Amino acid sequence: MTASDGPIDLEDLTGKAATLDDVANRAGVSTATVSRFINNPTVVAKATAERIREAIAETGYIPNLLAGGLASSKSKMVAVLIPYLTDSIFNDTIQTMVEELSSAGTTVMLGLTGVSEARTEDLIRAAISRRVDAIIFTGPVTPNVEQMVRRSPALFIQVWDLPEDPIGIAVGFSHHAAGRDIARFLMSRGYRRPHVVTAQGARAQMRRNGFVDEWTASDGIAPTEAHVEVPSRFGHARRIFAEIRRLDHMPDVVVCGSDYLAQGVIVEALAAGLRVPEDIAVVGFGNSSIAGEMRPTITSVEVDGARIAREAIAAIRNRKGTALPPDRWIDVGFRLVARESA
Amino acid sequence: MTASDGPIDLEDLTGKAATLDDVANRAGVSTATVSRFINNPTVVAKATAERIREAIAETGYIPNLLAGGLASSKSKMVAVLIPYLTDSIFNDTIQTMVEELSSAGTTVMLGLTGVSEARTEDLIRAAISRRVDAIIFTGPVTPNVEQMVRRSPALFIQVWDLPEDPIGIAVGFSHHAAGRDIARFLMSRGYRRPHVVTAQGARAQMRRNGFVDEWTASDGIAPTEAHVEVPSRFGHARRIFAEIRRLDHMPDVVVCGSDYLAQGVIVEALAAGLRVPEDIAVVGFGNSSIAGEMRPTITSVEVDGARIAREAIAAIRNRKGTALPPDRWIDVGFRLVARESA
DNA sequence: AAGCGGCAAGAGAGCGATTGCATGTGATGG
DNA sequence: CCATCACATGCAATCGCTCTCTTGCCGCTT
């Protein structure tokens, strides 16, 4: 087939997708040139570029990224692995991440690990199988995961946390410090009997430790506690609140692992005729959109999830070859936002 | 390199990932056999299988799915395209979809279209570029999208809706009927002055039409209305409620496009000292987890998002070659769940 | 006029799997 | 004892790109 400027029957292309070869033939150039044009349009001469552009339009060519990735060993994919999606504290991070990555032409592979180590390992393996450029990860790293990841050229980014020795890099903040600051804040407001609700998961545990350590050190009295399954969402609120009512001493403030849970507790408390924060105060975590919209508005800890996403993406983008970026810890901090609920 | 049963220095593998060749050499078989073992372990002899298994373990081999996909022209990937993630009514569908697909070894490419046609087209193109086996899509189909999709062998599955002429197949329900049923329900409960809050987007529009058509036909009086940007989430509630208060006639029921929004309206109403549903009733949509947890519990329309996911996956799995499945419409229906709020 | 530099484009060797076909082998039956 | 067959395995072409190396060409300098 040679280049022709007459219209072609597009229908005959439906059977088989057009390839680089087809485009090259139509445009009267070699595949190498078309490939160059696609990846870096400025390196081909203007007239050639125009012919190629037309040939692409005529053939409806859509590159095969499987082939491209294989040849270049760059997949332009990143894996994003989180525990849950529903009512998740990571949603802003994911939303930003997916938006920014896809507008940069990178596709996102989403994995939900739950709390299962086996599933986590499967997902990591799947990500490596696809030769992703980076793995963005929230969760505990098992030895198997560590081994697989270390051998893979993918950049491993642990987000929402700052582990002591990240495998790749980490973008997050100190959960222990966050817990501590919540404790200090509540003390300064005069609360005396906190009730700490901790979700499953290492980060929640660290916040809880931060809180309890600080509280016990300054006050001498350990707070009462409750635990919920991951994820700490709305649905657990009723049970949590029922438990609180059964305590000998009603707490004066409930410290929740997420705003969703906090919201639920507030709803329950109000329904029970209690005033928030006068009868019982509530603290959330994550500063989700609801925190500012709930009545009363919810005192929470703001974490800039979008910034976490952007820092992670920047790290991917700035990476040279397979070297580790210079900054292995990126601390985005957090900010306690005092509102009406505590 | 020949097969050896001595321990090898695993470290020398870190530079380059192990390939099928490495495994084959170690196990003393051909790459074809290893490939067969990986894709269908039962076809290789037991002793051979064992040797291969060991070789894989020793080399830490992880298959390259880019190469595999290229050779087999099956990517074992599906694209899932939704407008938003945060407070999204699709979350259950996505959660189920991702869980079930990944445990079947298929990876999920997530795309967020927002309300932008350009971005939607880019994402479709990206999906086809990766040669996904299927595209699961929620949203309006532009001519460009239709053209790309028709030429691609990927199965196109439109979910959460039942368009008249789906490109591939559709798994969803009639939004018009849902709107109609809400209208009937509210009439039967004696409500007289509904206020309909409609989000941007075709589906919300269809529900609104269903509602308004039915209401106007039976009652003769058109409901008052309000509009919100997509997504119809918590954050708009305050504005919506403020608008309601400014109306000449206070409506007796607010019909919301999502439970998140309904929740917000309830919170605002309660904060304003109104009783729900006595002073003002509220209807949600989607039957999200909060619908049953909120106080009062929210009357909503239950859509089995998980089932939508499973039906879509089943269609992918049962597909033979590139043929269209026999059932082009799968109606999962919906169910009005009457609770306390209306 | 010869030499040189620089840009644009082509040739072709991979990338790492899959898979149709050919082949070898041992068991089976006549 | 040999033809037959099923089964397990190997050979090698193929998938559609990328990218290094080379070539061709044009315009300038000297």
Radius of gyration of chain A (CA): 26
CB contact under 8 A, A95 and B107: no
Indicate the length of chain B as a whole number. Answer: 342
Q: What are phi and psi of B199, to 5 degrees?
A: -90, 165
Which tokens in the block code for residue B141? 């189909």
Quick count: other Cβ atoms within 10 Å of Cβ B152? 22
CA of B316 to C1' of C29 (A): 46
Which of A32-36, A40-44, A154-158, B5-9 comes out lowest in average pLDDT?
Answer: B5-9
Residue A101 near residue A78, CB atoms below 8 Å = yes
Written as one letter, the residue type at B322 is T
Which tokens in the block code for residue A234? 């709305």
Kindly give, in sequence order, each residue whose CB lies less than 8 Å from that of residue B214, ignoring residues fewer than 6 positions away: B179, B180, B183, B184
Peptide bond into A231 cis (omega under 30): yes
Q: Which residues of A touch B289 (CB under 8 A)?
A: 86-87, 233-235
With H, G, I as helix, E, B as strand and everything else as coil, classify residue A332. Answer: coil
CB contact under 8 A, A17 and B86: no
CA nearest neighbour of B140 among B114, B177, B174: B114
Q: Which residues of B touch A17 (CB under 8 A)?
A: 151-153
Kindly give, in sequence order, each residue whose CB lies less than 8 Å from that of residue A200, ignoring residues fewer than 6 positions away: A115, A227, A228, A229, A230
CB contact under 8 A, A119 and B102: yes
Q: Which residues of B touch A109 (CB under 8 A)?
A: 77, 107-110
Kindly give, in sequence order, each residue whose CB lies less than 8 Å from that of residue B255, ignoring residues fewer than 6 positions away: B182, B186, B194, B195, B196, B197, B211, B223, B283
Q: Quick check: B48 contacting A, CB < 8 Å? A: no
Q: Quick check: A245 contacting B, CB < 8 Å? A: no
CA of B47 to C1' of D7 (A): 14
Kindly give, in sequence order, each residue whose CB lies less than 8 Å from that of residue A216, ignoring residues fewer than 6 positions away: A222
Q: Quick check: A144 contacting B, CB < 8 Å? A: no
Predicted local confidence at residue B236, as pLDDT: 80
Taking 70 as the threshold, does the pLDDT of residue A124 lie above it? yes
Alpha carbon distance B342, A57 (integer Å): 54
With H, G, I as helix, E, B as strand and everything else as coil, classify residue B329. Answer: strand
Q: What is the pLDDT along chain B (342 residues), one digit of tens a residue?
A: 333 444 444 444 446 889 999 999 999 999 999 999 999 999 999 999 999 999 999 999 999 999 999 999 999 999 999 998 876 788 889 999 999 999 999 999 999 998 899 999 999 999 999 999 999 999 889 999 999 999 999 999 999 999 999 999 999 999 999 999 999 999 999 999 999 998 888 888 999 999 999 999 987 788 888 887 655 556 688 888 999 999 988 999 999 988 888 999 999 999 899 999 999 999 999 998 889 888 899 999 999 999 999 999 999 999 887 788 888 999 999 999 999 999
CA of B44 to C1' of D9 (A): 9
Written as one letter, the residue type at B340 is E
Q: Quick check: B144 contacting A, CB < 8 Å? A: no
Domain boundaries, chain A: 10-63, 76-173+305-333, 175-302
pLDDT above 90 covers a percentage of chain A that reads 72
Q: What are phi and psi of A263, to 5 degrees?
A: -60, -45
CB contact under 8 A, B95 and A108: no
CA of A47 to C1' of C4 (A): 27
Size of interface A-B (CB pairs under 8 A): 168
A295-311, pLDDT tens digit by residue?
A: 899 999 999 999 999 99
Instruction: Say yes or no: Cβ of B95 under 7 A from any atom of strand C.
Output: no
Residue in A with minimal Cα distance to B119 = A103
Alpha carbon distance A136, B78 (integer Å): 20
Alpha carbon distance B205, B198 (integer Å): 7
Predicted local confidence at residue B230, as pLDDT: 58
Instruction: Say yes or no: Cβ of B31 under 7 A from any atom of strand D.
Output: yes
A149 pLDDT band, cuts 50/70/90, is very high
Q: What is the residue whose two structure tokens read 């990735």?
A: A69
Q: Which residues of B touch A92 (CB under 8 A)?
A: 86
Which of B207-229 are b and which e, b meaning 16 or more Cβ less than 10 Å from the residue's Cβ?
bbebbbebbeeeeeeebbebbbe
CA distances, A159 to each of A171, A173, A306, A313, A319 (Å): 5, 9, 11, 11, 17
Which of A67, A80, A235 lies closest to B289 in CB terms?
A235
CATH architecture of A175-302: 3-Layer(aba) Sandwich (3.40)
Q: Which residues of B touch A86 (CB under 8 A)?
A: 91-92, 95, 289
CA nearest neighbour of B70 among B122, B129, B149, B28: B129
Residue nearest to nucleotide C12 (CA to C1'): A32
Q: Which CATH class is domain A10-63?
A: mainly alpha
CB contact under 8 A, A110 and B109: yes
Predicted local confidence at residue A200, as pLDDT: 82
- Mean pLDDT for the stretch of residues A85-112: 90
CB contact under 8 A, A86 and B95: yes
DSSP letter, residue A222: P
Which of A111, A129, A235 lies closest to B62 in CB terms?
A129
Residue B95 near residue A86, CB atoms below 8 Å = yes
CA of A45 to C1' of D30 (A): 30
Q: Quick check: B92 contacting A, CB < 8 Å? A: yes
Q: Quick check: A319 contacting B, CB < 8 Å? A: no
What secondary structure does DSSP assign to A180-217, as a single string? Answer: HHHHHHHHHTT---EEEEEESSHHHHHHHHHHHHHHHH
Predicted local confidence at residue B304, as pLDDT: 92
CA nearest neighbour of B94 among B105, B110, B106: B110
Q: What is the residue whose two structure tokens read 């707070």?
A: A223
Alpha carbon distance B137, B120 (integer Å): 10
Residue nearest to nucleotide C15 (CA to C1'): A71
- Mean pLDDT for the stretch of residues A57-74: 95
Interface of B with A in 51-90 (CB under 8 A): 60, 62-67, 69-70, 75, 77, 80, 84-87
With H, G, I as helix, E, B as strand and everything else as coil, classify residue B135. Answer: strand
Q: Quick check: A294 contacting B, CB < 8 Å? A: yes
A3: Cα separation from own chain's centroid: 48
Alpha carbon distance B260, B142 (integer Å): 29
Q: How many DSSP H helices and E strands does chain B contain?
A: 13, 12
CA nearest neighbour of B104 among A147, A122, A153: A122
Taking 80 as the threshold, does the pLDDT of residue A14 lie above it? no
CA nearest neighbour of A134 among A7, A295, A334, A309: A309
Instruction: Say yes or no: Cβ of B43 under 7 A from any atom of strand D.
Output: yes
Fold adopted by A76-173+305-333: Rossmann fold (3.40.50)
Supply the mean pLDDT for chain A.
90
Predicted local confidence at residue B234, as pLDDT: 64
Shortest alpha-carbon distance between residue A221 and chain B (Å): 33
With H, G, I as helix, E, B as strand and everything else as coil, classify residue B108. Answer: strand
Q: Quick check: B129 contacting A, CB < 8 Å? A: yes
Residue B22 near residue B16, CB atoms below 8 Å = no
Kindly give, in sequence order, each residue whose CB lies less than 8 Å from that of residue B171, ignoring residues fewer than 6 positions away: B157, B158, B159, B160, B308, B311, B312, B315, B330, B332
Shortest alpha-carbon distance between residue A74 and chain B (Å): 10
Alpha carbon distance A256, A237 (integer Å): 10
Which of A35, A80, A81, A85 to probe the B interface (max B CBs under 10 A)?
A85
Shortest alpha-carbon distance between residue B1 and chain A (Å): 21
Residue in B with minimal Cα distance to A234 = B290
Taking 60 as the threshold, does the pLDDT of residue A3 lie above it? no
A206-243, pLDDT tens digit by residue?
A: 999 999 999 999 877 888 888 877 555 566 888 889 99
Alpha carbon distance B154, B73 (integer Å): 11
Predicted local confidence at residue B144, as pLDDT: 95
Predicted local confidence at residue A16, as pLDDT: 79
Quick count: other Cβ atoms within 10 Å of Cβ B165? 7
**Do the domains A76-173+305-333 and A175-302 sit in the same CATH topology, yes or no?**
yes
Task: Give the count of alpha carbons within 13 A of A320, CB side only.
Answer: 1
Give start and end residues of each alpha helix (H) in chain B: 20-27, 31-39, 46-59, 65-72, 91-103, 117-129, 143-151, 175-188, 202-219, 237-246, 259-271, 289-293, 305-318
Indicate the length of chain A as a whole number. Answer: 342
Residue A196 near residue A255, CB atoms below 8 Å = yes
Identify nearest nucleotide to residue B69 by CA to C1′ distance: C17
A339 pLDDT band, cuts 50/70/90, is very high
Taking 60 as the threshold, does the pLDDT of residue A1 lie above it? no
Instruction: Say yes or no: Cβ of A28 under 7 A from any atom of strand C.
Output: yes
Predicted local confidence at residue B7, as pLDDT: 43
Edge-to-edge strand list for the sheet holding A224-228: A224-228, A194-199, A253-255, A281-283
CA nearest neighbour of B124 among B101, B150, B100: B150
Q: Quick check: B218 contacting A, CB < 8 Å? A: no
Q: Quick check: B238 contacting A, CB < 8 Å? A: yes
Q: What are phi and psi of B179, to 5 degrees?
A: -60, -40
Kindly give, in sequence order, each residue whose CB lies less than 8 Å from that of residue A16, ignoring residues fewer than 6 positions away: none
Predicted local confidence at residue A237, as pLDDT: 85
> Which CATH number applies to B76-173+305-332: 3.40.50.1000, 2.60.40.10, 3.40.50.2300, 3.30.565.10?
3.40.50.2300
